[in-house]
Amino acid sequence: MGSYLDGGSIRAPRKCAAIIFYVSFCMARKHLRAVLFGPQGSGKGTQGRMLADYFGVPLIGAGELFRAEIQEKSALGKLVKSYVSRGALVPDELANAVMQKRLKAIHLDHGFLLDGYPRNVDQAESLDTIVKMNLALQIKISDVESLRRLLGRRQCMGCKAAFHAEDYPSTKPNVCDVCGQKVVQREDDNEEVIRARLAAYHFMTEPLASYYRQQGVLLAVKGEQPVPSLYEELVRKIRKLGFVPAKKSV
Ligand code: AP5
């Protein structure tokens, strides 16, 4: 009979302890249930894609969902096109229905990152009835910078990667560095529509900051810095709050 001092008996409790540690680590892992908001061009899509990958959660972009429907010329697409093309918000009932249907299709307990939803306090209250956010990220930039970025934005038709004609051009003109598909200018990225989108942001979306501050989940950062340094700041601050990466480290 082996004693506690022989190799086999020691390995068994160690293995057991390792399993218990791993299971409790997984159970204790705090999953992001986050919303990303900020003025147009603040980098929600750019940072959202990288953060979702880093923290291993799905990114759900309201604007991308609407644009996909418009591109497919679906009934919903026809309905939302008139709002999106002039920079107005899609009516709350519609936005809530589309996003909540999408949310019901994923495991909410495993976490997610929302880009562009909610966009006003009514939408936030509606979302709260389904799931409570544990983080609200606000990226702040000026209107001047927003306009400069969006007028230069080029977006991949395939993977939706964002480029900028001057700051972050694709290596080959109009070809995506990530997936090789065509890079184009978004229809709503013209000065008149951008100004309308910014007005909607200041009037309707900005109040989300005090809404989420009251819930104790607001993290606001300055967005006028290069993409990599903003990403590093966000990762560092989010990790400090106890959220752990899926597997990699920055
Ligand atoms: P949506 O697609 O969400 O557009 P948006 O809010 O106008 O935001 P953008 O996509 O323009 O900006 P972004 O912050 O993602 O910037 P990006 O990373 O691309 O919504 C579109 C429309 O859908 C709305 O107008 C509305 O009609 C409707 N809608 C959506 N959600 C709705 C809702 N909940 N309710 C009702 N209606 C809704 O970056 C922009 C550019 O800047 C790029 O060129 C990029 O390369 C560059 N860039 C990014 N970061 C940096 C940096 N740090 N420094 C320099 N350049 C940078």
Q: What's at 86, amino acid-wise?
A: R
Decide if 86 is catalytic: no
Testing ligand 1's pocket by substitution, the residue of 71, 164, 225 carrying the most ligand atoms inside 8 A of its CB is 164
Q: Are residues 91 and 123 in the same domain?
A: yes
Q: Are residues 62 and 157 in the same domain?
A: no
Whether 8 is in a domain gets the answer no
**Residue 143 above 60 pLDDT?**
yes
Q: Are residues 178 and 129 in the same domain?
A: no
- Residue 123 is predicted with a pLDDT of 98
pLDDT in tens, 107-127: 999 999 999 999 999 999 999
Q: Are residues 159 and 41 in the same domain?
A: no
Q: Are residues 103 and 60 in the same domain?
A: yes
- Could you list the residue range(s) of the whole structural domain that residue 174 is in? 153-188
Q: Are residues 160 and 77 in the same domain?
A: no
User: How far is the C-alpha of 176 from the C-alpha of 189, rounded, in Å?
Assistant: 18
Q: Are residues 104 and 161 in the same domain?
A: no
Judge if the beta carbon of residue 51 lies within 6 A of ligand 1.
no
pLDDT in tens, 49-98: 999 999 999 999 999 999 999 999 999 999 999 999 999 999 999 999 99
User: How far is the C-alpha of 209 from the C-alpha of 136, rounded, in Å?
Assistant: 8
Judge if the beta carbon of residue 39 lies within 6 A of ligand 1.
no
138 phi, psi to nearest 5 deg: -110, 125
Whether 22 is in a domain gets the answer no
Nearest CA to ligand 1 atom 1: 63
Q: Look at the chain and report how many structural domains it folds into.
A: 2
User: How far is the C-alpha of 156 from the C-alpha of 59, rounded, in Å?
Assistant: 17
Q: Are residues 51 and 109 in the same domain?
A: yes
Whether 231 is in a domain gets the answer yes
C-alpha torsion angle, residues 119, 123, 127, 133 (rounded to 10):
40
Whether 147 is in a domain gets the answer yes
Q: State the chain's mean pLDDT as an integer.
A: 90
For the ranges 27-41, 60-74, 181-195, the lowest mean pLDDT is seen at: 27-41
Whether 132 is in a domain gets the answer yes
Of the residues 33, 44, 49, 154, which is catalytic?
Answer: 44
Whether 21 is in a domain gets the answer no
Compare 150 and 10 and report the one with higher pLDDT: 150
Q: Are residues 125 and 204 in the same domain?
A: yes
C-alpha torsion angle, residues 151, 152, 156, 157 (rounded to 10):
30
- Residue 59 is predicted with a pLDDT of 97
Q: What is the CATH number of the domain that holds 58?
A: 3.40.50.300
Q: Are 148 and 142 in contact (CB under 8 A)?
A: no
User: How far is the C-alpha of 137 from the C-alpha of 220, rounded, in Å?
Assistant: 6
Q: Are residues 49 and 128 in the same domain?
A: yes
pLDDT in tens, 207-227: 999 999 999 999 999 999 999
Q: Are residues 228 and 136 in the same domain?
A: yes
Judge if the beta carbon of residue 111 lies within 6 A of ligand 1.
no
Q: Are residues 105 and 80 in the same domain?
A: yes
Whether 16 is in a domain gets the answer no
- Residue 14 is predicted with a pLDDT of 66
pLDDT-derived band at 1, boundaries 50, 70, 90: very low
- Residue 246 is predicted with a pLDDT of 84
Q: State pTM to two decimals.
A: 0.86
Q: Are 53 and 45 in contact (CB under 8 A)?
A: no
Whether 24 is in a domain gets the answer no
